[in-house]
Structure 1
Amino acid sequence: MTWYEVNDDIVITLPTIFDMDANLGYLTREKNECMYETENNIMTKVITIGKIQSLVQISIINNKQMVIQFLNDSKPIEKWKRQEIVTYIHEWFDLDNDLTSFYEMAKADPLLKIPVQKFYGLRVIGIPDLFEALCWGVLGQQINLAFAYTLKRQFVEKFGDFIEWNGKKYWVFPSYERIAQLTPADLANIKMTVKKSEYIIGIAKLMASGELSREKLMEMDFKDAEKSLMKIRGVGPWTANYVLMRCLRFQTAFPIDDVGLINSIKLLQNMNRKPTKDEIMELSIPWKNWESYATFYLWRVLY
């Protein structure tokens, strides 16, 4: 993790296989995103470390360096807190992962060779905060992506914090501590089902009690982490694998029943029907240990 400071900015050295246009293509695919803003290839986002909230702007120099600029006097004084911000960004963009062997495999794979060429340098964009990842997984169940983003915005703007800068609000995802105090009635004017409200409050309570944490899950192997997540009310195999992939960074995470994955394979294979689970299993044999990256690149084909 190579980084240094120039005046008040942090500069992170990027891995060789990184392309900001490919990553921004993913990050800007939905105009209703409320957790960051992108303008002229510069991202603005609040990063929360414990009780400290820093408003940062992220820009890229020649796909070699990422520059983190602090806005609104929000730069932490302590170096360890700045290190935590660097760690968060590394996890968000999966910067510590060497993709060389993934690309070697994918370039020879009939399904992946076109996506990896087209989106070269795309990383699996993460959701480093476990509560946010689980909420997003629950919110997205059985609805289209545009509606899921609407629900997320309603939830964040009702229960989250924000930092105001230049007349704009930059939002912080609601904390599990706050959501654990609520009842489904408190979420009634957000257009999600009562069941989803119950699931999200239940997850918040598990995290507030310390029973559920990112740290505990990270100590487990893939199967145990998957089982632990699936014990949570409202978390099935799809949501568990989504969280394992985007928050806990298990590369073998594979949401095999995902509609986007199925539609992407159907499109690339030029099929007039959906591929069966067995067919997907067969196609995914060469992806061993890179299932999460294969899935992410196949999703990317659809938008």
Structure 2
Amino acid sequence: MIQTFNQHNFHQLCDVVATKDADLKEIIERFGYPPYWSRPNTFESIVHIILEQQVSLASAMATLNKLKDRIATITPGNFLPLTDIELKDCYFSRQKISYVRDLAEQIINKKLNLDDLVDKTDSEIKTALTKIKGIGNWTVDIYLIFILHRLDVFPIGDLAAVNALKKVKGLDKTSSTEDIISTTLSWKPYSSLATMLLWHFYLEERKR
């Protein structure tokens, strides 16, 4: 059975994972619950995640907004006619032009149906999405958490989550991937909620 979280059980499940880990409980006590980060299952949402690869959230949002100014509604059909020059004017890098074009073409050619992904397992979704140019494990993990609200995902490639985990757990900055994954095992099957708490911690600490 595919397990997900939603806006109604979000705080309850944050509390459940916090009972498994006193450090996560302390995050809630210090900063309250994290926002319910959620995006619709659309082409635009995946474009947004691709734009967030290896840049700041603010930079990605600026690019997305510039694209919206250009085509109003971000759909595969509206995106594909844009030239490289038009997309560079929207702050797209050469690589991300290529990635989003491939995504748009896959959807237009019916090789990818986002609605069909809802009923697939995390592993099946990863297989389907990583066939698309520029979509790797991190992009899939963010899709699973933000869009499909899958319950048990820890994005090992997410620097904010990993750095927050190291700080919360007092781990050495040079800790191995194996050490980090081992630390997350006690959160199962609620790793996504733990991840959102770590992001919340990271953002609140940066405000200070």
Shorter-chain TM band = 0.7 to 0.9
Find the counterpart in structure 2 of residue 256 from structure 1: 156
Q: Deviations over 1:232-260 (max 9, x none)?
A: 11100000111111112211222112110
Of the structure 1 ranges 277-286 and 236-245, higher mean CA displacement relative to structure 2 is found in 277-286
> In 2, Cα distance between the equivalents of 1:122 and 1:302?
11
Q: Is structure 2 residue 203 aligned with structure 1 residue 297? A: no
From the two aligned structures, give the one with the greater strand fraction.
Answer: 1
Match of 2:125 among 221, 225, 231: 225
Question: Aligned runs of 1:129-278 on 2, under 5 Å?
Answer: 129-161=41-73, 174-271=74-171, 273-278=173-178
> In 1, Cα distance between the equivalents of 2:36 and 2:127?
23
Q: Deviations over 1:7-47 (max 9, x none)?
A: xxxxxxxxxxxxxxxxxxxxxxxxxxxxxxxxxxxxxxxxx
> In 1, Cα distance between the equivalents of 2:119 and 2:78?
26
In the TM superposition, residue 121 of structure 1 has moved relative to its aligned partner by: 4.3
Q: Which amino acid aligns with 2:66?
A: Q
CA contact (8 A) 2:34 2:196 kept: no
> In 1, Cα distance between the equivalents of 2:179 and 2:22?
14
Quick one: higher RCO (CA 8 Å, sep 6+), 1 or 2? 2
TM-score, length basis structure 1: 0.60
Q: Which amino acid aligns with 1:213?
A: N
CA contact (8 A) 1:180 1:202 kept: no
> In 1, Cα distance between the equivalents of 2:83 and 2:38?
29
Q: Deviations over 1:146-200 (max 9, x none)?
A: 2222222222222225xxxxxxxxxxxx122211333433312122211101111
Of the structure 1 ranges 280-289 and 263-272, higher mean CA displacement relative to structure 2 is found in 263-272
Runs of 4+ displaced beyond 4 Å: none
TM-score, length basis structure 2: 0.85
> In 2, Cα distance between the equivalents of 1:215 and 1:197?
24
> In 2, Cα distance between the equivalents of 1:149 and 1:241?
19
Q: Secondary structure of 2:89's partner?
A: coil
> In 2, Cα distance between the equivalents of 1:302 and 1:101?
20
Q: Percent identity?
A: 23
Find the counterpart in structure 1 of residue 206 from structure 2: none
Q: Deviations over 1:66-95 (max 9, x none)?
A: xxxxxxxxxxxxxxxxxxxxxxxxx9x932
CA contact (8 A) 1:266 1:274 kept: no
In the TM superposition, residue 96 of structure 1 has moved relative to its aligned partner by: 4.4
CA contact (8 A) 1:245 1:292 kept: yes
Q: Which amino acid aligns with 1:187?
A: L
Aligned-residue CA RMSD in angstroms?
Answer: 2.3
> In 2, Cα distance between the equivalents of 1:196 and 1:232?
12
Find the counterpart in structure 1 of residue 21 from structure 2: 109
Gaps of 5+ in 1: 1-90, 162-173
Q: Deviations over 1:114-160 (max 9, x none)?
A: 22333444454211133122111110111122222222222222222
CA contact (8 A) 2:76 2:105 kept: yes
Question: Aligned runs of 1:109-128 on 2, under 5 Å?
Answer: 109-122=21-34, 124-128=36-40
From the two aligned structures, give the one with the greater helix fraction.
Answer: 2
> In 2, Cα distance between the equivalents of 1:290 and 1:155?
35
Gaps of 5+ in 2: 204-208
Give the length in aligned residue pairs: 200
